[in-house]
Structure 1
Amino acid sequence: MPPEATTPKAYAFLLIPGYSQLGFACALEALSLANLHPSGQVFYTWRLISETGDPVAAYNGVTTEVDVALPALGRHETLVVCAGHDADHNSTRPILNWIRREVRKGMDFGALSSGTYTLALAGLLSGKRVTTHWEYRDTLTEILPDVSIENSLYSVDGRIFTTAGGAASMDMMLHRIRDDYGTDLATWVADQMVYTDPRGPAHGQRLSRRTRPDLAHGKLGVALQIMENNLEDPLRPDEIADAVAISTRQLERLFAKHLGMSPKRHYLHLRLEKARGLLRQTTLSVTDICVVCGFQSLSHFSKSYRGTFGLSPGQEKRGTRDIWPDRR
């Protein structure tokens, strides 16, 4: 049973334009359902915040009314930064300054999805262990070398918590409810959500990897992991084959059977995907991106990129906003 009635724990959700409505809804719903427990106890309160106090549109266009514009928070409140698409552009200078000022009070604080970006922009993640949506992981890894970017559903490091967003927000909130009030209440909330198998932080983010046992296990799975771990300094196919204790010909047959391409071609695709993320999400130069993605020359990088995506790296970069623009 939940503990005897105490002062409700307070949350403050900062909604940044373009935020993930799914991630926000999953987090808030967990707290809301806790308050419906038959004990009648109010376990949580919350308020919704935006930069101006105006309603905020999620990336899908649905607008949410908020309670207040960047207020002074109490040390007892827990701040949750909710972001999604264009977190770089929408994490404005007033928002970053406000977050820095408020978290100095010593409160717990965290982020849903690319809200981790916002915390990074505010300079709050140095030396920390965090996670974010898998699409942003490579970029954060490159621009935050002193931060451990985990490939996990959620991560907790001291008073900082981060999550991959989406349904993972529900897992993280169930974890926090359990820590706050015990397993019984967390289980009751999960049952109300018809969520019969809450996941731990180490659970993988991408179902597409887990539903292909031929890719996740065995020699091919090891070879794929070796490639992903060595994008900046690519290994030759024979080196990969040696590492998984098979011949180069056997490696080529595995890739042809399960992926329909050669190891070399797949490796190139992984490096180009990483390059595209960095071009779209950072201010790293094309030359720097060429190097960190394992290309020996700009001409080879540009030719490969154009052949795969239909435009040059420079065109890709000019067609997207920088992640570190001057803040308004």
Structure 2
Amino acid sequence: MTDTDTSPSKAYAFLLVPGFSTLGFACALDSLSLANHHPSGRKFYRWRLMSETGAPVEAYNGVKVAVDSALAPLERGETLIVCAGENAGQSSSKTILSWLRREARRGGDIGALSSGTYILALAGLIGGKRVTTHWEYKIALAEMLPDVIMEDTIFSADGRIFTSAGGAASMDMMLHRLRDDYGPDLATWVADQMVYTVPRLHSDAQRASLQSRPEVRNPKLLMAMRVMENNIEDPLTPDEIADVVGLSTRQLERLFAKYLSISPKRHYLRIRLEKGRNLLRQTDLSVTDVCVACGFKSLSHFSKSYRANYGIPPGLEASDGKVLWSDRSVKV
């Protein structure tokens, strides 16, 4: 271990935001807790839990977690981790965002689990940074903050900012931090206690690759799907997609029918509508702006397609009380 046995414990503060993911939070906290059960008897870490008011916080699954205090100043050298999940924007009050900006100026490390990255963005803390978040929030962040470098990885670190996709990825990120803090022996011991024999690297992707899905192992089909995902704002025609992948339009249609039981046009539409749904739920973009971002030439076509796919018009998908993106940036 890199530190001496007499060095003080490293301090963490977890900010629990309503709707947070219990899995991501538990994986992060237990990594610290297990380290303190090392046979050496040393207490490597200490931590405290916070909420905006000091009241228990309800997670996305209905579980309520008691905290130690309301928002309070961080100690010198204390690391903050923002734990979020569903409805991160609605749960990010002006009080929370102001507190985050103020604490960021103290100079400590600031982390985020899952959509906690979204909250750091609302507070103006990640401009120009390499970050990651749960894949459902990636589109919204990339759309609203073009200067942020979005990484499709399980966790990321850039200077004082470290972020995780949440879920089990929180464990990978914390094991990485344990290794940096105290060396590989402690991190390996904790991983063994978790029965987690092969911790992942930060560069690992969040979702199973297309190649791993048995229904889409055809290389031409994979290529066509990637072309669609990379051309949403300015969608290509079926003829253009077929030309890119080296097939005739009829061959492309047969390929999608055989492996996915859907037409290329319908699959493309679903991808564009999924992006639209994420943007409506997670940003303050207007329905018209989302329509354009998803490559629809008319609002009526977008609304009709959206209603047919999701059962409600896009205007009702956008939730009330969203927090506007901050134009105030805090250098971290």
- Into which bin does the TM-score normalised by the smaller protein fall? over 0.9
Distance change >3 Å, CA 313–CA 214, structure 1 → 2: same
**C-alpha displacement at 1:223, in angstroms?**
1.5
1:162 maps to amino acid: T
Residue 56 (structure 1) aligns with: 57
Map 1:221-300 onto structure 2 (within 5 A). 221-300=222-301
Residue 43 (structure 2) aligns with: 42
Map 1:7-22 onto structure 2 (within 5 A). 7-22=8-23
Residue 143 (structure 1) aligns with: 144
**Is the CA contact (8 Å cut-off) linking 1:19 and 1:58 kept in structure 2?**
yes
**C-alpha displacement at 1:102, in angstroms?**
0.8
Compute the TM-score of the two structures, normalised by the length of structure 2. Answer: 0.93
CA distance in 2, matches of 1:271, 1:85: 22
Secondary structure of 2:46's counterpart equals strand
CA distance in 2, matches of 1:132, 1:55: 25
Secondary structure of 2:54's counterpart equals coil
Map 1:55-134 onto structure 2 (within 5 A). 55-134=56-135
**Is the CA contact (8 Å cut-off) linking 1:279 and 1:316 kept in structure 2?**
yes
1:245 maps to amino acid: G
- % identical aligned pairs: 66
**Is the CA contact (8 Å cut-off) linking 1:271 and 1:294 kept in structure 2?**
yes
**Is the CA contact (8 Å cut-off) linking 1:24 and 1:82 kept in structure 2?**
yes
Unaligned runs of 5+ in 1: none
**C-alpha displacement at 1:276, in angstroms?**
1.2
**C-alpha displacement at 1:72, in angstroms?**
1.1
CA distance in 2, matches of 1:75, 1:239: 57
**Is the CA contact (8 Å cut-off) linking 2:90 and 2:322 kept in structure 1?**
yes
CA distance in 2, matches of 1:200, 1:128: 19
CA distance in 1, matches of 2:138, 2:264: 23
Instruction: Please list every run of at least 4 consecutive aligned residues from structure 1 whose deviation after the TM superposition is greater than 3 angstroms.
Output: 207-211
Could you list the per-position Cα deviations for residues 260-287 of structure 1 after superposition, in whole angstroms to 9, with x for gaps in the alignment? 1111110011001111111222221111
CA distance in 1, matches of 2:325, 2:249: 49
Could you list the per-position Cα deviations for residues 174-200 of structure 1 after superposition, in whole angstroms to 9, with x for gaps in the alignment? 111111111111111100000112111
CA distance in 1, matches of 2:79, 2:140: 27
Distance change >3 Å, CA 323–CA 201, structure 1 → 2: farther
**C-alpha displacement at 1:59, in angstroms?**
1.3
Q: Are residues 1:165 and 2:162 paired?
A: no
Distance change >3 Å, CA 238–CA 297, structure 1 → 2: same
Residue 31 (structure 2) aligns with: 30
Q: Are residues 1:215 and 2:208 paired?
A: no
Secondary structure of 2:72's counterpart equals coil
**C-alpha displacement at 1:7, in angstroms?**
1.4
Residue 4 (structure 1) aligns with: 4
**Is the CA contact (8 Å cut-off) linking 2:210 and 2:222 kept in structure 1?**
no
CA distance in 2, matches of 1:294, 1:216: 28
1:219 maps to amino acid: K
CA distance in 1, matches of 2:96, 2:300: 40
Distance change >3 Å, CA 205–CA 322, structure 1 → 2: farther
Secondary structure of 2:128's counterpart equals coil
CA distance in 1, matches of 2:195, 2:316: 47
Unaligned runs of 5+ in 2: 327-332
**Is the CA contact (8 Å cut-off) linking 1:87 and 1:117 kept in structure 2?**
yes
Compute the TM-score of the two structures, normalised by the length of structure 1. Answer: 0.94
**C-alpha displacement at 1:249, in angstroms?**
2.4
**Structure 1 residues 20-29 or 33-42, which shifts more?**
33-42
Q: Are residues 1:323 and 2:322 paired?
A: yes
**Structure 1 residues 215-224 or 254-263, which shifts more?**
215-224
**C-alpha displacement at 1:297, in angstroms?**
1.1
**Structure 1 residues 189-198 or 278-287, which shifts more?**
278-287
CA distance in 1, matches of 2:162, 2:230: 25
